Copies of this chain bind each other. A is one copy, B any other.
Amino acid sequence: MSQITYREALRIALQESMREDSTIILMGEDVGHYGGAYGVTKGMIEEFGEKRILDTPISEEGIVGTAVGSAMTGLRPVVELMYVDFVMLAMDQLANQAAKIRYMFGGQISVPMVMRAQGGTGRSGAAQHSQSLEAWMMHTPGLLLAIPATVTDAYFLLKHALKLSDPVVFLEHKMLYTLKGEINTSDSLSWGQAAVLRQGSDFTLVTYSRMVHRALDAAEKLAEIGIQAEVIDLRTLYPLDTETINSSVKKTGRALVVTEDCLTAGVSAELSARIMEGSFEFLEEPVLRLAGEDIPIPVSPSMEKEAVPSVDRIFSTAKLLLRK
């Protein structure tokens, strides 16, 4: 297969799924004629028409609620939030409704929907267009949560999400859309399994989404000075593959968690706790967390850059962890 972008991989996943399953519809602000703010759904309205690709008003609560209702009654909606930051307007529909309906109704009614959104820093979007809010969703029982870092995962995770019976929050990263790669059909992992992207014996680096790439870059640099990182890409946060994490940490004895979301009560906290719980006797050092700073994201590019982990900081933190 030829090189495609992360964006294209997502689009192909949507297209193929929609061809197979006529109950799938897409809805969101400017997903149709505009082609999506980040171009994921570009051109799809030509193939699938206005009945299946629905441009919506700017009504986050209403459109997520509409997606929930259509999922309850037989469709499989994919709703795109232009920025994950806007989920705050739809939080009730996501976390009080979609996540709890199966449970509250005693298992009678399913909500097979996918809520796509993109998050993260990198475009000077400032405080309301740059957040990483996956911890909120991870803290909400009833939601599944995929957060792909690679072209292959963008494709396979989205295709799989579109087969599930529960609401899936599908989080993309605004800086990954132009990432290029091949869809690797041979070694695709199953949903809920973490990927060990790099073998290493000195420490385990656990991460996901855009930080995977920074971690891999840092690992290369670390290898040059003789430190071998084992890099794990979680791929999904629910299910969370603690087994893969902990069998690695048991081997390496050291763990560094890297996330873009802000540190306090973030995903890095859960990962740190899970590692400590799963590998306590094996830990030579405390599990370290290199996460986003506990600040709103500033617009200034120089400050924005310093608000989240960089390759250099992963590198230097790993050196500290190895006491080198």
Residues on A close to B: CB < 8 A?
Answer: 61, 85-86, 88-89, 91-92, 94-96, 99-100, 103-104, 126-128, 135-136, 138-139, 141-142, 238, 240, 261-262, 264-270, 272-273, 276-277, 280, 283, 285-289, 293-296, 298
Contact = CB atoms under 8 A, between A and B. Distances in A.
Nearest to A136: B136
Given A89-B92, A265-B139, A287 B276 contact: yes
B286 A280 contact: yes
Contacts of A270: 264-266, 269
Contact of A135 (B139, B141, B238, B295): B139
Contacts of A280: 283, 285-286
Given A88-B95, A100-B128, A103-B295, 8 more contacts: A85-B96, A89-B92, A99-B296, A104-B128, A135-B265, A139-B262, A141-B262, A266-B270
A137 to B, nearest CB: 9
A35 to B, nearest CB: 26
A298 B280 CA distance: 33
A126 B139 contact: no
Contacts of A285: 280
A273 B289 contact: yes
15 contacts: A86-B92, A88-B91, A96-B128, A103-B127, A135-B139, A136-B265, A138-B264, A141-B294, A265-B267, A269-B272, A269-B273, A273-B273, A273-B276, A273-B287, A280-B286
B88 A100 contact: no
A265 B276 contact: no
B100 A296 contact: yes
One complex includes copies of this chain to the number of 2
A273 B296 CA distance: 22
From A138, A141, A240, A268, residue with most partner B Cβ within 10 Å: A141
Nearest to A298: B103
Given A136-B139, A138-B265, A296-B103, A277 B286 contact: yes
Contact of A286 (B91, B267, B276): B276
A38 to B, nearest CB: 20
A104 B265 contact: no
A221 B66 CA distance: 51
A176 B135 CA distance: 28
Contacts of A61: 89
A287 B293 CA distance: 24
Given A88-B91, A127-B100, A127-B103, A265 B272 contact: no
A104 B298 CA distance: 7
A62 to B, nearest CB: 13
A-B residue pairs, 3 tightest by C-beta: A88-B92, A280-B286, A88-B91
A261 to B, nearest CB: 8
Contacts of A266: 139, 265, 270
Nearest to A129: B96
